[in-house]
Amino acid sequence: MKKQAVQRLLSLAPYQPGRPIDEVKRELGLRSVIKLASNESPFGPSPRVLKAIEKAALDVNRYPDGGCFYLRQEVSKQLSVKAGQLVFGNGSDELIILALRSFVNPGDEILVSDPSFMVYSIGGKAVGAKVRVVPMKDFHHDLKALAAAVTENTKIIFLDNPGNPAGTYITDQALRDFLTKIPSRVVVFLDEAYYEYACLQKDYPCSLSWISQYPNVIVARTFSKIYALAGLRVGYAIASEEVADILNRVREPFNVNSLAQAAAVAALKDQAYYRKRAKDFKEQRQWLADECVKLGVRIIPGVTNFVLIDLQGAASPVAQELLKKGVIVRDMTAWGLKNFIRVTIGTDAENQRFVKTFKTVLKK
Ligand SMILES: Cc1ncc(COP(=O)(O)O)c(C=O)c1O
């Protein structure tokens, strides 16, 4: 192995996995622990999805369908896009990696906002990209600065819309204006992991309809959030047929497992169930944000299933105290946001427990 390549990889900060809830319970001697740290759904998948998983489990001796035939058909029908415009991945994380592997050579540049989803930088560094970071402006993507930062070496601009951890979103008009400024040779990767929450906003972009005009756009979505399938790992990208063809060439042949495919098809067919969930989350987010404001902290107004909270003081001791009381939230210090925690919206009972515990911890 080339020494330089190994050194580059050793300079990557490895992803720090959270500990299993049962381990936290055992260590801290707690009977009940709630996890509001990873922007998952607190609810299980719909009953129809569970049935589909049970049925598919009988066939796990077989390799999965490498072409995701039924899932492709369903997504293509629901989004009115061609089957050839779709690429499926082991979570939308994999689509980020596939785009980097396809379009970035060592020494090329990628542009990311700070803060934004960490996989862009980690994946970018892994392929030898120079990761150029553009600070957000008041927790919104600074589209003007991003457009100005494009050089002849820029290969991909990653935009999480809405952003994680900010939770804010780019409006339809702002994104259109941005795309007109970006050269067509630069891929614009629109990460819409929280689409199903954000699309309740009237001015959230309908980015799919622009792919014919801007074939440099890749839109990525996931079944990990509203569809509550984070543990099965399935996401997809929509792109021009040419771009989708490239991404499909570099992926592993059986990258989406058979349970995930069956579950995702069933989830898509159960839209009424998930639409209702998205509305409930919106109400719960507002409730949790209002309660936090009453406690004297600042909320970044977002449109996702989490809330970014500015404690205006060190976050780590607060996150630690919450943990001791059985409430796991994300301490944002690793993102460079040492005064912030990110709290995922849970069930009604979990949200109430968070607010009650948060109040006690803040009083201390
Ligand atoms: C902005 C963003 N993109 C992508 C992902 C990855 O999701 P998946 O579970 O589909 O890999 C996440 C997960 O938290 C996210 O927040």
Residue 165, preceding peptide bond in cis (omega within 30° of 0): yes
Sign of CA dihedral 264, 270, 273, 277: positive
Atom of ligand 1 nearest to the CA of 234: 10
Nearest CA to ligand 1 atom 16: 164
d(CA 333, CA 340): 7
The answer, yes or no, to whether any atom of ligand 1 lies below 6 A from the CB of 168, is no
For the chain, what is the total number of helices (H) and then of strands (E)? 14, 12
Q: Output phi, psi for 156, to 5 deg.
A: -140, 140
Distance 195 CA to ligand 1 centre (A): 11
Distance 171 CA to ligand 1 centre (A): 20
Q: Output phi, psi for 346, to 5 deg.
A: -105, -155
Q: Which of 113, 118, 119 maximizes ligand 1 atoms within 8 Å of its Cβ, making it the mutation to test the pocket?
A: 119
The answer, yes or no, to whether any atom of ligand 1 lies below 6 A from the CB of 117, is yes
Q: Rg for the chain (alpha carbons), in Å?
A: 21
The answer, yes or no, to whether any atom of ligand 1 lies below 6 A from the CB of 91, is yes
Distance 364 CA to ligand 1 centre (A): 34
Distances (CA, A) of 336 to 135, 165, 210, 329, 339: 11, 11, 34, 16, 9
DSSP-assigned states of every residue in 44-91: PPPHHHHHHHHHHHTTTTSPP-TT-HHHHHHHHHHHT--GGGEEEESS
The answer, yes or no, to whether any atom of ligand 1 lies below 6 A from the CB of 40, is no
**CB of 54 within 8 A of CB of 44?**
no
Of 361, 225, 200, the C-alpha closest to 306 is: 225
The answer, yes or no, to whether any atom of ligand 1 lies below 6 A from the CB of 305, is no
Q: pTM of this prediction?
A: 0.96
The answer, yes or no, to whether any atom of ligand 1 lies below 6 A from the CB of 163, is no
The answer, yes or no, to whether any atom of ligand 1 lies below 6 A from the CB of 118, is no
What pLDDT tens digit does each residue of the chain (364 aa) get?
A: 667 778 878 888 777 777 788 888 998 999 999 999 999 999 999 999 999 999 999 999 999 999 999 999 999 999 999 999 999 999 999 999 999 999 999 999 999 999 999 999 999 999 999 999 999 999 999 999 999 999 999 999 999 999 999 999 999 999 999 999 999 999 999 999 999 999 999 999 999 999 999 999 999 999 999 999 999 999 999 999 999 999 999 999 999 999 999 999 999 999 989 888 888 899 999 999 999 999 999 999 999 999 999 999 999 999 999 999 999 999 999 999 999 999 999 999 999 999 999 999 999 8
Distances (CA, A) of 233 to 40, 89, 254, 292: 12, 8, 13, 32
Q: Domains, the chain, ranges and CATH?
A: 3-43+272-363 (3.90.1150.10), 47-270 (3.40.640.10)
Distance 92 CA to ligand 1 centre (A): 6
